[in-house]
């Protein structure tokens, strides 16, 4: 064993370090030469065969060779690592100038949109929103609204009964009763939400939506009611449109009226939507029947009031010229996307 052996191994190690193609190969070479069980450790074992004088010189020479190799290793390692990072950056880099993939944003359903629009118009007259349960006691859906036991609206054909005393509400008018019982006049409230009727065709859904207003105050007249609806019609459908009341009947209002407005599509000239009449029906209204006040314990005639109700899908159909009410619950995106703005 001679000192030349050390420099031979050193040269060989330097060569294989430089030949490494990547950091793993380089590391393997480091283990091979400088590792715990590597060639240099093996070399040190030969020290035993050396003379007393040679031993320290040999040890020193091995250590110098190892130091040189370690420094070389670090240099090559940092070069290789840099190269590898550059390569990875090339492959994995993000090009921020590319156009992004588009994310489709959700938007309100047309029923929601129309509801919000109506609420906002009537809020300007001091009305604020109330909600109520979808399953109502008979008393709220019928009895307190002066709908007697034998009224045709209670017929199985119209009402979904939950049990003997509970129904899926058939209109939003029970919200009037909850308000009359729980709040003190003067009141200007809106009730809105889902209503259910056992009915389904091109203009009827078993589950649809209503919005209704109730005003309770002193000296309330049909003129106030008509002024309110006329304001609303012009704000919602367009200015210049006329409002017409036709005598009608609701058990909870007296007198009662069917409300028409001049057709927003043809402006009253006559078209297929208004069936050439120039008028289109938008809802019901009237002065609150004294029986309703009595049922809910409101002091009549000190307080008087009016109420009006609209079908929300119907309002949307008229405003946007939608041909079939069944499009609303279908959730066909081609239909819904037309109401994005």
Reading the block at residue 42, the tokens are 């093996």
Q: Which residues contact 267 (CB under 8 A, 6 or more apart)?
A: 240, 241
Q: Which is nearer to ligand PHE, 285 or 315 (CB)?
A: 285
Q: Which residues contact 255 (CB under 8 A, 6 or more apart)?
A: 222, 247, 286, 287
Within 269-298, the residues that bind ligand PHE by CB under 6 A are: 284-286
Q: Which residues contact 311 (CB under 8 A, 6 or more apart)?
A: 208, 209, 210, 283
Helices 110-123, 222-236: axis angle to 10 degrees equals 130
Name the minimum Å distance from CB 145 to ligand PHE: 8
| DSSP codes of every residue in 173-241 | THHHHHHHHHS-SSEEEEEEEEEE-S--BTTB-SEEEEEEEEEEESS--HHHHHHHHHHHHHHHT-TT-
For ligand PHE, the binding residue among 111, 169, 309, 318 (CB under 6 A) is 309
Instruction: Count residues binding ligand PHE (CB under 6 A).
Output: 11
Distance CA 265, CA 318 (A): 8
Distance CA 318, CA 157 (A): 26
Q: What distances in angstroms separate CA 31 from CA 19, 34, 60, 66, one per listed residue?
A: 15, 5, 21, 12
Name the minimum Å distance from CB 336 to ligand PHE: 26
CB 311 within 8 A of CB 205: no
Under the criterion CB under 6 A, does residue 308 sit at the interface with ligand PHE?
yes
Name the minimum Å distance from CB 171 to ligand PHE: 3
Site string for ligand PHE, 189-218 (x = CB under 6 A): -----------------------x------
Q: Which is nearer to ligand PHE, 114 or 285 (CB)?
A: 285
Strand partners, 283: 259, 310
Under the criterion CB under 6 A, does residue 305 sit at the interface with ligand PHE?
no
3-class SS of residue 258: strand
Under the criterion CB under 6 A, does residue 173 sit at the interface with ligand PHE?
yes
For ligand PHE, the binding residue among 250, 293, 295, 328 (CB under 6 A) is 250
For ligand PHE, the binding residue among 141, 253, 296, 304 (CB under 6 A) is 253
Name the minimum Å distance from CB 104 to ligand PHE: 36
3-class SS of residue 321: coil
Name the minimum Å distance from CB 172 to ligand PHE: 7
Under the criterion CB under 6 A, does residue 268 sit at the interface with ligand PHE?
no
Under the criterion CB under 6 A, does residue 130 sit at the interface with ligand PHE?
no
Name the burial class of residue 105, with classes exposed (0-12), middle (13-18) and buried (19+) by CB atoms within 10 angstroms of its CB: exposed
- Which range, of 83-91, 104-112, 235-243, 301-309, touches ligand PHE by CB under 6 A? 301-309
Q: Which is nearer to ligand PHE, 14 or 313 (CB)?
A: 313
Q: Which is nearer to ligand PHE, 174 or 268 (CB)?
A: 174
Q: Which is nearer to ligand PHE, 280 or 285 (CB)?
A: 285
Q: Which is nearer to ligand PHE, 285 or 327 (CB)?
A: 285
Name the minimum Å distance from CB 250 to ligand PHE: 5
Distance CA 286, CA 184 (A): 21
Residues that bind ligand PHE (CB under 6 A): 171, 173, 212, 250, 253, 284-286, 307-309
């Amino acid at each position: 064993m001679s000192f030349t052996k050390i420099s031979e191994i050193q040269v060989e190690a330097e060569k294989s370090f430089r030949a490494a193609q990547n950091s793993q190969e380089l590391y393997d070479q480091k283990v091979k030469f400088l590792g715990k069980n590597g060639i240099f450790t093996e070399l040190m074992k030969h020290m035993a065969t050396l003379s007393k004088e040679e031993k320290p010189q040999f040890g020193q020479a091995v250590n110098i060779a190892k130091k040189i190799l370690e420094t070389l290793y670090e240099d090559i390692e940092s070069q290789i690592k840099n190269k590898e990072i550059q390569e990875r950056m090339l492959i994995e880099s993000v090009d921020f100038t590319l156009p992004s993939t588009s994310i489709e944003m959700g938007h309100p359903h047309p029923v929601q949109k129309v509801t919000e629009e109506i609420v906002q118009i009537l809020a300007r007259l001091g009305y604020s929103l109330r909600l109520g349960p979808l399953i109502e006691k008979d008393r709220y859906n019928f009895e307190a609204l002066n709908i007697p036991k034998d009224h045709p609206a209670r017929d199985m054909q119209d009402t979904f009964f939950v049990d003997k005393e509970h129904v899926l509400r058939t209109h939003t008018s029970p919200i009037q009763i909850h308000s009359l019982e729980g709040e003190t006049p003067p009141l200007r409230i809106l009730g809105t939400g889902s209503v259910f009727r056992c009915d389904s065709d091109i203009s009827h859904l078993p589950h649809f939506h209503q919005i209704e207003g109730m005003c309770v105050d002193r000296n309330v007249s049909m003129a106030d009611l008509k002024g309110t609806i006329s304001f609303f019609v012009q704000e919602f459908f367009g200015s210049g449109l006329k409002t017409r009341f036709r005598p009608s009947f609701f058990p909870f209002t007296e007198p009662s009226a069917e409300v028409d407005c001049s057709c927003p599509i043809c402006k009253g000239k006559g078209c297929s939507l208004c069936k050439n009449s120039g008028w289109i029906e938008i809802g019901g209204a009237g002065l609150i029947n004294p029986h309703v006040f009595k049922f809910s314990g409101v002091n009549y005639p000190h307080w008087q009031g009016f109420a009006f109700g609209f079908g929300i899908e119907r309002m949307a159909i008229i405003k946007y010229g939608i041909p079939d009410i069944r499009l609303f619950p279908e959730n066909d995106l081609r239909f819904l996307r037309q109401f994005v703005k």
